[in-house]
């Protein structure tokens, strides 16, 4: 249970930052305080929807992999990764208060999400460790035990 909560919390905090950056860097995207709810959607999508979509799309692409060159296969893999990010972005826009207006507000944010998740992957272990420490402190205070920090 702790592992799931820590993973969700660490990813949630990171997603808030990524969404705020997307709102700041992307023309036509309005995030603001909606980043708090949109991050719940984005975190759930990253944990559940993204792996499912990736598995389904890769399975579909694998059927025709023999017909492609090596370079063609790389292009297909990159397109699939982008499509997954695009679907996740559309879900965030549909189910939250985030607003996207215009072509670039749908094309650019999935690339920024992908870049954000690459960065998250690089800092994931440290972020989870800090979140786990915070979880332990809060849990010990709730249960009335003294914290060993």
Q: What average pLDDT does the segment 19-23 reach? A: 96
Helix (H, G, I), strand (E, B) or coil at 69: coil
What is the reported pLDDT for 18? Answer: 95
Beta pairing partners, 99? 30
Angle between helix 50-62 and helix 70-95 axes, rounded to 10 deg: 150
pTM of the model: 0.77
- Measured between alpha carbons, how far is 116 from 122 in angstroms, rounded to an integer? 10
Question: How big, in percent rounded to 5, are the helix, strand and coil portions of the chain?
Answer: 85, 5, 15
Which residues make Cβ contacts (< 8 Å) with residue 88, sequence separation at least 6?
A: 42, 45, 46, 49, 50, 53, 110, 113
Which pLDDT tens digit goes with each residue over 84-129?
Answer: 999 999 999 999 999 999 999 999 999 999 998 888 888 877 777 8
For residue 28, give the DSSP letter.
T
């Amino acid at each position: 249970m702790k592992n799931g909560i820590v993973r969700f919390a660490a990813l949630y905090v990171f997603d808030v930052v990524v969404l705020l950056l997307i709102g700041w860097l992307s023309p036509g995207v309005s995030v603001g305080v909606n980043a708090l709810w949109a991050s719940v959607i984005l975190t759930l999508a990253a944990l559940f929807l993204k792996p499912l979509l990736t598995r389904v799309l890769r399975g579909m692409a694998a059927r025709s992999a023999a017909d492609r060159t090596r370079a063609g296969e790389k292009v297909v893999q990159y397109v699939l990764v982008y499509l997954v990010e695009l679907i996740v972005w559309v879900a965030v826009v549909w189910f939250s208060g985030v607003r996207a207006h215009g072509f670039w507000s749908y094309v650019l944010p999935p690339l920024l999400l992908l870049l954000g998740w690459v960065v998250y992957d690089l800092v994931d272990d440290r972020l989870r460790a800090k979140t786990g420490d915070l979880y332990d402190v809060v849990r010990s205070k709730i249960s009335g035990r003294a914290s060993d920090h």
